[in-house]
Amino acid sequence: MRYAIVTETYPPEINGVALTVQGLEQGLRARGHQVALVRPRQLHERSSAAHELLVRSLPLPRYPGLRVGLPATRRLTEAWRAQPPDAIYVATEGPLGWSALRAARRLGVPVATGFHTRFDEYMRDYGAPFLVGTALRWMRRFHNGADATLVPTRELAEFLRTQGFSDVVRLPRAVDTALFDPSRRSETLRQAWGADAADPVAIYVGRIAPEKNLDLAVRAFRALQQQRPQARFVWVGDGPARARLQREHPDFVFCGVQRGAALAEHFASGDLFLFPSRSETFGNVTLEAMASGVPTVAFDYGAAHEHLRDGEHGAAVADTDDAGFVAAAVRIGGDDALRGAMSRAGRAAISGLRPEQVAADFDALLSGLAETAPRRPPRHGAALSVQDEREVV
């Protein structure tokens, strides 16, 4: 079959959405399908692969290095009229995503959207809580214009249903357990961080930005450090909050963005993953930490709610319990034997998650839309009942 994927972000950009979309694209190709990729043209990018359609772009405010695609409805309509896809997946809600929805509707091509980012929660993190409702209405209008909205967890599916989102479909996530593996632990790397074999290393991996609630991770580490003075805190990633953290905490180790095997080595060389974000739709890094054998402290939603068993693989803390987050970091980070047991249990718990199965489920969903969507009545954005939810498992 011929599919099209539309996304505002894609590697070499490093973020959860970009890597998830790339994994879905590669999974479809591995299953023998043709996949056309539509994305913004990056700065200084002059050419593209044969399967790519690049559109004009502008820098994304507050996200250095990321660009947003400009409206391109006419161009997409012409491209898809010339080579009609059987189904389209729109991964992001930016101007390019809206253009893709319009073009798909003009041509009668079935389309699924991906709910990857809680922009409503971002409004609070960036000092505009009065825009939470507006952001949610904007996202609902976007996703209800599609034949299906893909989400990674049952929890998020239920939330969206209560907010009037239609045709919610759960597409579970997986992790590359061959790449993220405890065997990649490196004592040489730990020594470069200033940590001996017995020194606990807390690690954070992700965007270093206000929406990640990073001050709580700092509080948790400082509490752990009072019990284990030789503990180290390693930060992997980049973002607008990095400069402030480096200035205020010169003893922290900042490693910048890491990719592939280097990222896996950094993960496996840590002892405790601190993930204080409350704004994720999933949090791929939680699965990557568990696969790497690193006990995780996170809030009980997203990937943690779906996969992390509290007290066995780390700590899944109630959403409003900052003190509980700090206490869990101190308890787990200060107990070497407990971390060892959690490391083994966490690795075992996700060993059966396979990216190949996610690709098969994604393929089945898109091919199903291609077969059934033409017979669907016109969309009116009606609310979804509990019985209407479909789930890919």
pLDDT, tens digit (0-9, with 9 covering 90-100), for 201-251:
999 999 999 889 999 999 999 999 999 999 999 999 999 999 999 999 999
Give residue 283's Cα distance to chain centre. Answer: 5
* Nearest alpha-carbon partner for 322 in 231, 215, 225, 233: 215
The β-bridge relationship of strands 67-69 and 57-59 is antiparallel
Q: What is the pLDDT of residue 195?
A: 96
Mean local confidence (pLDDT), 266-272 = 98
**CATH homologous superfamily of domain 2-174+355-391?**
Glycogen Phosphorylase B; (3.40.50.2000)
Residue of 364, 375, 379 whose CA lies nearest to 105: 379
pTM: 0.83
How many angstroms separate the Cα of 246 from the Cα of each of 50, 242, 243, 249?
Answer: 42, 6, 5, 5
CA 123 to CA 283: how far, in whole Å?
Answer: 19
Distance between CA 110 and CA 1 in Å, rounded?
A: 13
Letter for the amino acid at 238? D
C-alpha to C-alpha distance for 153 and 170, rounded to whole angstroms: 6
Indicate where the chain has its CATH 3.40.50.2000 domain(s): 2-174+355-391, 182-350
- With 60 as the cut, is the pLDDT of residue 380 above it? no
Cα(389)–Cα(368) distance, integer angstroms: 15
Q: Are 72 and 99 in contact (CB under 8 A)?
A: yes
Band of residue 384 on the pLDDT scale cut at 50, 70, 90? very low
Helix (H, G, I), strand (E, B) or coil at 40: strand
Percent pLDDT > 90 in the chain is: 75
Dihedral over Cα of 86, 110, 353, 271: its sign:
positive
Looking at domain 182-350, which CATH architecture does it have?
3-Layer(aba) Sandwich (3.40)
